[in-house]
Amino acid sequence: MERDLIAKIGDLVGSAAKDPSVLLGIGDDCAVMASTPGRHLVVTTDTLVEAVHFDLNYFDPWHLGRKTAAVNLSDVGAMGGRPRWALLNLAVRPGLADGFWKDFSMGLMSRLSQYGVGLVGGDTVSTPDRLSVSLTLIGEVEPGKWLGRSRAEPGDLIYCSGNLGEAAAGLKWLKDCKGKRRRFKGRRMPGIRRRVSMVALRRLVARHLDPEPRMALGQALAADGSVRSAIDLSDGVATDLAHICNMSGTGAEVWAHEIPISRALKAISRILGISPLSLALTGGEDFELLWTVSEKNEAGVQRIAAKVLGYRPFRIGKMVVGDRVLLKTRRGTEDITYQGYEHRT
């Protein structure tokens, strides 16, 4: 079974994009690829475990495939890299529906082929209890042009690429309501229709099920070269900004009133009884890009980001001397360092 499942998925995924860089694909001891002369390699990997990172009560296999790709693509995007090749490790449990892996593959393929990524290998093992999916992405980046976490400086302005907290709200909604439905199909959402629109609810749920990696934005910022540091918001601003502080030897202050919170998030937060600001700062998996830029280069970077995004990015704070992430509200200052999202469905 081992090689068969990866090979089958490879057939599905590979057929979409015949990639001349793949000299030897799935089915040998190793895959062989021709990399682009003059480029550096970037590489990342992420594992999703059933009942820890996803729940099959509301994750259909197609969305699981898409998300598996997206969380890794987001890391490559946050470096400003170009993703090229993927490896897939599956731990398969019994009891999955017929067609599960076909649907998963189609979802995975839909995201990978969107960015020209070919599946070149992997491994499948059987496990009695719990489905687990790891994807490893190899990409390329121009020497000296990647967006790291370690070069932020006090005085840098902090920007993010979109609304925060929506994925966490979507997840909370799915968890609270999953008893009522067998599986999320984007059709029925019972209960709380009156106070939040169907369109808004669907968007929040999609932020959890089908996050959009900020690939084009990361690549544009890397090409420009004036962004000092960047990270994708997988664990929430409070934690991810703390990573930048930690790696750069700086502190940061975040301005509560500048955090982009959508009307939909406000509406659903009232229903769920949670603070939208707390979701926005400590909720994970928004996969928006956060970056820091000097005052001097601020306007230029803002223009580049606005061109890619179609709207102006959000300035949410400033790097400062220190080692903490501080939240500034009208009532005062609060330490939110590493108060991020722990991956638990």
Considering the rule CB under 8 A, would residue 33 count as an interface residue with its own copies? yes
CA distances from 26 to 5, 12, 47, 163 (A): 11, 12, 21, 39
Place of tokens 């606005």: 306
By the rule CB under 8 A, 143 interacts with its own copies: yes
Is residue 301 within 8 A of residue 227, CB to CB? The reply is yes
Q: Which of 64, 112, 141, 205 binds its own copies (CB under 8 A)?
A: 141
- What is the rounded CA–CA span in Å between residue 168 and residue 205? 9
Q: Which of 43/216 has CB closer to its own copies?
A: 43
Query: How many Å apart are CA 130 and CA 135, to the nearest integer?
Result: 17
Alpha-carbon distance 315 to 306, whole Å? 12
Residue 284 contacts its own copies per CB under 8 A: no
- Give me the least distance between CB of 136 and its own copies, in Å please: 5
- Our finding on whether 248 is near its own copies (CB under 8 A) is no
Per CB under 8 A, 52 contacts its own copies: yes
Residue 73 CA, chain-centre distance (Å), reads 7
Q: Which of 57, 89, 114, 278 binds its own copies (CB under 8 A)?
A: 89
Strands 157-160 and 118-126: unpaired
C-alpha–C-alpha distance, residues 252 and 266, integer Å: 25
Q: CA-CA distance, 281 to 294, in Å (whole number)? A: 23
Q: How far is the CB of 5 from its own copies (least distance, A)?
A: 12
Q: Is 219 in the site for its own copies (CB under 8 A)?
A: no
- Minimum CB separation from its own copies for residue 120, in Å? 6
Among 11, 96, 97, 125, binds its own copies (CB under 8 A): 125
Site mask, its own copies, residues 223-242, x = CB under 8 A? Answer: -------xxx----------
Determine if 79 is a binding residue for its own copies (CB under 8 A). yes
- Which pair of tokens denotes residue 231? 């990270």
Is 95:115 a contact under the CB 8 Å cutoff?
no
Interface pick for its own copies out of 68, 105, 113, 136 (rule CB under 8 A): 136
32 binds its own copies (CB under 8 A): yes
Question: Residues 45, 110, 114, 302: which binds its own copies (CB under 8 A)?
Answer: 45
Residue 34: count other Cβ atoms within 10 Å of its Cβ: 10
CB of 81 to its own copies, least distance (A): 6
DSSP H helical ranges for 115-181? 166-177
Residue 175 has φ and ψ, to the nearest 5°, of -65, -45
Q: Any residues with CB less than 8 A from the CB of 317 and at least 6 apart, and which?
A: 157, 158, 241, 252, 253, 254, 255, 258, 328
The residue within the footprint of its own copies, chosen from 30, 187, 296, 299 (CB under 8 A), is 30
28 binds its own copies (CB under 8 A): yes
End-to-end CA distance of the chain: 29
Question: Which of 68, 105, 113, 132 contacts its own copies by CB under 8 A?
Answer: 132
Size of the site for its own copies (CB under 8 A): 61
Binding test (CB under 8 A) with its own copies, winner from 11, 27, 99, 300: 27
Closest CB to its own copies among residues 127, 333: 127
Q: How far apart are CA 27 and CA 296, in angstroms?
A: 52
CA 87: distance to chain centroid? 18
Indicate whether 60 belongs to the interface with its own copies (CB under 8 A): no
In the complex, the residues that contact its own copies under the rule CB under 8 A are: 2, 23-24, 27-35, 37, 40-49, 52-53, 75-76, 78-79, 81, 85, 87, 89, 91, 120-130, 132, 134, 136, 138-139, 141, 143, 146, 148-150, 230-232, 247, 343
